[in-house]
Amino acid sequence: MEKELLLMLPGPVPMPERVRYAMMRQAINHRSAEFGAVYADCVRVLKTAFGTKNDLFVISGSGTAGMEAAIAGVGRDKDIACIVNGKFGERLYKISQRYGKAHEIRSDWGTPVNLEELKTQLEAGAQIVTLVHNETSAGIKNPAQEIGKLCRKHDALFIMDGITSIGGDTVEADAWGVDIAITGSQKCFAAPAGLAMVSVSSRAWERMTKNPPYYLDLPAYRKSAGGKPMETPYTPAVPLFLALREACLMIEEEGLPARITRHQKMSGAVQEAAKVWGLSLFPKIDKLHRYSSTVTAIEYPADVRDDEMRALIKKMGIVIAGGQDHLKGKIFRIGTMGSVSAPEILATLAATQHALRKSGFKITGDGVEAASEVLG
């Protein structure tokens, strides 16, 4: 029998058996009370993970569908300030270009965002700000709370991509002034890919476009979710909803604070291992920015080839991520999100340590032992 690979990526992540089994049942009517109860369970737990009391919906589509629903919903013909310090900030900028007048506030990938330029754009009349809270392409966590304060000061809407932080890190959408927050099912929730979850504030509802897209029409989702039973406006991916409900119940059972602490420990263990190996973390952080709690981006040492090292790790049954776009071959990334814990982290670090040695790099210490101390 072919052995399953352990996916230690920044998504998708390993799905618990409970989540997988939830999809292995006969179809149900998506206009039934049974489906409505599934949807309601998801929304209840999701609101806790988002840190919101706002309306919240689940869309059958990837996290990018949630991004587009947000920008198409409020950004048509508006001035949009797009903060970019990684690949997914760039994606929000590209979507914004299709609907409004987008202004890119660019920093090098993995470096602090340019708050002064944001202030300039807001003073010039930007009506919407987009931000990726946790930029997995570079392993950096951006200061959503500070950006939310600036948006409120200038009465701009704040759209936040929380796709790789919600459910695995502290997110307080309401307290931070986030008007539309977005996440995806295959990241910290450890559910299958294919669902986007979106929360919408009263301020965002007041500024919703009169000409929304047809499928990603947030007011249509609001109308359908407000009925009894809860529904989606269009046919949902029912098996994915069933899996998401199980993943949400697992979060509820673990307790969100405990889940966040676990994610912080796991990422801390990977960071400590890298330090002991003598490797540098890729992001450049400051007093407002932090290393990601759900993925660690590590710089390759000289003469270690990305394809060779990751192939060695894959031979041991584990998959880690390389860099994207211009960072290909320059960094590798280890995901620490979902339902994994110490055994998976230690196995991944042992495989990585072995691959580094086989690739000719002389490590300075035992990263696995150092990580064990953090996890213990």
Which fold is adopted by the domain 6-11+256-375? Aspartate Aminotransferase, domain 1 (3.90.1150)
pLDDT at 1 over 60: no
- Average confidence (pLDDT) over 82-104: 98
What does pTM read for this prediction?
0.97
Task: Delimit the domains of the chain by residue range.
Answer: 6-11+256-375, 17-253
> Mapping DSSP to helix (H, G, I), strand (E, B) and coil, where does residue 177 land?
coil
pLDDT at 73 over 80: yes
Answer for the pair 367, 274: CB distance below 8 angstroms, yes or no. Answer: yes
pLDDT of residue 3: 81
Report the CATH number of the 17-253 domain.
3.40.640.10
Answer for the pair 186, 193: CB distance below 8 angstroms, yes or no. Answer: yes
Task: Tell how far CA 93 is from the center of its chain.
Answer: 17
Closest CA to 267 of 240, 291, 251, 288: 291
Q: What is the DSSP string of 117-173?
A: HHHHHHHTT--EEEEESEETTTTEE--HHHHHHHHHHTT-EEEEE-TTTBTTB---T
Q: What is the DSSP letter of 279?
A: P
Q: Could you tell me the pLDDT band of residue 2, with boundaries at 50, 70 and 90?
A: low
